[in-house]
């Protein structure tokens, strides 16, 4: 039995320690994922909270089939897509400070964030999951409910487009 299965069983029994352990395990990676889809840390934190809230509300119906992280990514992805559909102003000033970077890294982080944002949604999703979140291609295929060759194709296209975008900005 894997660790997540046992945590989920304990959470269903109302074990607060299991809930804390589960949130502690997955909160940083879901926050990082949401942060890549939003303009500021506050929105990312709200989306992360929403993700865990939805997970815990559906805990009774949840069927553990491997990794709870995949289910959390699915919930977070839906929350981020819904959030991004809402019209809003995006203040770019202070973005890098929120990301916790050094001043010399600000331009690079901003360039990468803008380049990712310029990708078509299906390419951006695969690129974020692979390059930023560190998921394996098979995990991405399972998470996005697409074939492994399609994941490889999207990652190849995303890499080529990112290189082109970033090289154009560098000149």
Q: How many of the other CB atoms lie within 10 Å of CB of 52?
A: 18
Q: Which two tokens stand for residue 103?
A: 């001043």
Query: Where would I find the H helices in 13-130?
Result: 16-35, 41-57, 68-85, 95-99, 103-118, 121-127
Domains and CATH numbers, the chain: 1-91 (1.10.1740.10), 103-171 (1.10.10.10)
- Looking at residue 70, what is its pLDDT? 87
Give tens-digit pLDDT for 62-76. 887 778 888 899 999
Q: How confident is the model at residue 106 (pLDDT cuts 50, 70, 90)?
A: low
Distance in angstroms (rounded) separating the CA atoms of residues 127 and 96: 20
pTM of the full predicted structure? 0.62
Other CB atoms within 10 Å distance of the CB of residue 9: 13
Measured in residues, the chain has a length of 171
Tokens in use for 35? Answer: 């942060």
Note the maximum CA span of the chain: 58
Cα 141 → chain centroid: 15
d(CA 130, CA 152): 10
pLDDT in tens, 129-165: 888 888 899 988 888 888 999 999 999 999 999 888 8
Question: pLDDT at residue 79 above 90?
Answer: yes
Residue 41: predicted pLDDT? 87
**Rounded Cα distance, 108 and 154, in Å:** 23
Asked whether the beta carbons of 122 and 76 are under 8 A apart, the reply is: no
Residue of higher predicted confidence among 2 and 124: 124
Q: What is the DSSP letter of 17?
A: H
Distance of CA 119 to the CA centre of its chain: 15
């Amino acid at each position: 039995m894997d660790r997540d299965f046992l945590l989920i069983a304990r959470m269903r029994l109302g074990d607060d320690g299991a809930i804390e352990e589960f949130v502690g395990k997955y909160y940083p990676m879901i926050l990082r994922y949401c942060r890549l889809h939003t303009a500021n840390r506050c929105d990312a934190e709200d989306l992360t909270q929403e993700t865990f809230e939805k997970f815990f509300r559906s805990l009774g119906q949840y069927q553990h089939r491997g990794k709870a992280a995949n289910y959390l990514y699915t919930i977070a992805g839906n929350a981020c897509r819904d959030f991004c559909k809402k019209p809003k102003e995006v203040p770019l000033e202070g973005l890098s400070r929120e990301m916790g970077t050094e001043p010399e890294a600000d331009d690079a982080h901003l360039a990468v964030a803008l380049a990712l944002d310029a990708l078509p949604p299906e390419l951006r999703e695969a690129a974020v999951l692979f390059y930023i979140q560190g998921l394996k291609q098979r995990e991405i295929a399972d998470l996005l409910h697409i074939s492994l060759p399609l994941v490889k194709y999207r990652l190849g296209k995303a890499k080529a487009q990112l290189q082109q975008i970033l090289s154009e900005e560098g000149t």
